[in-house]
Amino acid sequence: MSFSLAIVGRPNVGKSTLFNRLVGRRLALVDDQPGVTRDLREGEARLVDLRFTVIDTAGLEEATDESLQGRMRKLTERAVDMADICLFMIDARVGILPADEIFAEILRKRAKHVILAANKAEGKAGEGGLLEAYALGLGEPLRLSAEHGEGMHELYDALLPLSKEFDERAASEAPATDIELSEEEAALGEDFEEGDEAGFSRDFTLDKPLQIAVVGRPNAGKSTLINKLLGEERLLTGPEAGITRDSISVTMTWNDVPVRVFDTAGMRKKAKVQEKLEKLSVSDGLRAVKFAEVVVVLLDVSIPFEQQDLRIADLAEREGRAVVIAVNKWDEETDKSNKAKALREEFTRLLPQLRGAQLVTVSALTGKNLDKLQEAILNAHAVWNRRVSTAKLNNWLGAMTTAHPPPAPGGRRIKLRYMTQVKARPPQFVVMCSHPEELNDSYKRYLINGLREDFDMPGTPIRLFFRSQGDKNPFKNKTKSMPSRLRKHLGKDRADAPKVQKQRPPKR
C-alpha cells in the first residue's frame, strides 16, 4: 500500500458506504441509524490503478469526556493522526452544520492532507450543500454519491498527485499486510494426500497469518483482550455491553507468530435479538467464525457456561473450527483453585463434543496467562491439522473392532473393511463398510473417542463418515441363464437343423 486514507465526518454522512465501495465488498455495517460504526476498520482499497489502505472511522461528535461518544471521538482523532490523507465527508443534502465547522478546524490543524467531499450530492437536492462546503476553507469539494458510485473519477484525480509523494516511502518499507481475506485464502479443509506428514501445520507468514476469532456474550471482555495483545487501545472498550458492532480484524505479531485476530460483536440469545442492527452484527460475527482457523470462546468467570456460551461453543464445533475456551476476569476470582476445578468438571459435562479441548483462565485487564492462551491456540491449531496415514488407521481399526465388534442387526454382523483420512482442518475420515445405514450412533462415538485418544486429537472436531462399497457380485439380481457365447453357438446349430413338426395326438 502506498498510502493510507481515513474517512472522517459527522455520523450518518455515508462513510461506511464509501468504505465498502472502495474495498469492493460489504465489510462495514451500513444502516440508516446514526452512529453504527464505532471502531476503526481497515481494508485494502482499489481505485482504478491506485492501491491504498482505507480506514473507516466513527462519526465525529462534540463529546470530549469519558462517555461512549467521547471514547469514539478519541479513536477517530487517533486515525486522523496516523493516516496520510483524510477525506472529510459532509452531507450535501443537509448542508454545513456547526459541528462540520468545528471538525474542519480540527482537521486543518492535525491532518497532513485533507480532501473535502460532499456526499449524497446526486440530483438537485445536493446543490445547496455543495456550494456551502466552500465556506469550510478546505478547497474545492468533490461531488460524490457513495451509494451510486458517482464522483469516483474525481476522487481518483484528487488522490493521484498525493499518492506520488508516498511512492518512495512505500518502496523502502515492507508492504502492509492485507486486512481482509479473499474467499480463496480463507478456504479451509485441504484435501489429504497419502504420504503427507502426520501432524502437518503450515508456516505462518505476514501474508497468511494464523486466523483467530474471539467470540462470546456481550461484555465478556473480547475487545479488552485484543487491546492487551496489541499493547495499545486499538478497539473501543468500556463498561457498557454491546459496544462492538462490526467484526474488526487486527493483524499483529504475537511472540514472533503473525496472527490476525477478529473481534466480534457479543452474541445474545436469538429471542433477545430484535433490532436489525444487532442482527447484522451477529451475522458479521458468524462470518468471522467461518473464516477463522481457531475460535477462542471467551467466558466471564462470574457467570460461566451459560446457555448462550454453550451455543456459541457448539456453533464453532459444528463449523469445524479448532476451539479454545478462555475464562476471563480471573483477577476478580478469590477462590482460584476450587473455581478452576469446578470449571473443568463443568466443561467436561456440558460440552462433551469438545472433549479434551484446552481451558485457560486469563485476565484481559492485567494480561495474566496470555502466554498460556497463545500456547493453547497453537496446540489447538496443530491438532486441527493432524493427519494419520492409511496403514496406521487400518491397523487401529482392526484392533478397535476386535476389542468391541460392530453391532449385528438382524443377526447380520456389520463389517468395517477399510478406513482412510480424506481431509484435514478438521480431520475427516471415511470408513468403507457393509450396511452403513444400520450402524448406530453409540458405535460411531466409540470410534471417534478412540481416534481422539489413540492419535492425540483432543478437543478438535472429528468428522467420521461411513460408506458402502457396494456388492461386487456381477450376477446379483440377474436371472439364471446360459452364457451369451453358448447361447449364440446353440442358436446357429438350431438354425441349421431341420425343422420337425410336432405331431398332435389322435382324437378319441
Do 95 and 219 reside in the same domain of the chain? no
Is residue 180 situated within a structural domain?
no
Structural domain of 249: 210-384
Do 425 and 360 reside in the same domain of the chain? no
Q: What nine digits make up the cell of 3?
A: 498510502
Do 169 and 217 reside in the same domain of the chain? no
How far is residue 227's CA from residue 376's CA, in Å, rounded to a whole number? 19
Is residue 363 situated within a structural domain?
yes
Residues making up the annotated binding site for GTP are 9-16, 56-60, 119-122, 216-223, 263-267, 328-331
Instruction: Give, for all 508 residues of the chain, the pLDDT tens digit.
Output: 478 888 888 888 888 888 888 888 776 655 555 555 655 777 888 888 888 888 888 777 666 556 656 666 777 777 787 788 888 888 888 888 888 888 888 888 888 888 898 888 887 777 888 888 888 888 888 888 888 888 888 888 888 888 876 665 544 443 333 334 344 434 434 444 444 444 445 678 878 889 898 888 877 888 888 888 887 776 655 555 555 555 677 888 888 888 888 877 666 545 444 444 444 455 656 777 877 899 998 888 888 888 888 888 888 888 888 999 999 989 888 888 899 899 999 998 988 888 888 899 999 888 888 999 999 999 999 999 989 999 999 999 999 999 998 888 878 888 888 899 988 888 999 999 888 888 888 999 899 989 988 998 888 889 899 988 665 555 455 555 555 665 555 555 555 555 555 566 666 5
Decide if 281 contacts 274 (C-beta within 8 A). no
Do 20 and 157 reside in the same domain of the chain? yes
Instruction: Name the 3-class secondary structure at 159.
Output: helix
Do 216 and 88 reside in the same domain of the chain? no
Do 250 and 396 reside in the same domain of the chain? no
Is residue 487 situated within a structural domain?
no
pTM assigned to the model: 0.62
Q: What is the CATH number of the domain that holds 435?
A: 3.30.300.20
Do 375 and 412 reside in the same domain of the chain? no
3-state secondary structure 294-337: EEEEEEECCCCCCHHHHHHHHHHHHCCCEEEEEEECHHHCCCHH
Do 30 and 137 reside in the same domain of the chain? yes
Instruction: Name the 3-class secondary structure at 378.
Output: helix
Instruction: Name the 3-class secondary structure at 204.
Output: coil
Do 218 and 324 reside in the same domain of the chain? yes
Is residue 186 situated within a structural domain?
no
Is residue 202 situated within a structural domain?
no
Do 29 and 146 reside in the same domain of the chain? yes
Do 162 and 247 reside in the same domain of the chain? no
Tell me how many domains the chain contains: 3
Say which residue the cell 481494508 belongs to.
43
How far is residue 163's CA from residue 183's CA, in Å, rounded to a whole number? 29
Is residue 484 situated within a structural domain?
no
Please choose, from the candidates 227, 211, 215, the residue with its C-alpha nearest in 3D space to the C-alpha of residue 261.
211
Residues making up the annotated binding site are 9-16, 56-60, 119-122, 216-223, 263-267, 328-331
* Size (the chain), residues: 508
Do 41 and 159 reside in the same domain of the chain? yes
Is residue 478 situated within a structural domain?
no
Q: What is the CATH number of the domain that holds 138?
A: 3.40.50.300
Is residue 137 situated within a structural domain?
yes
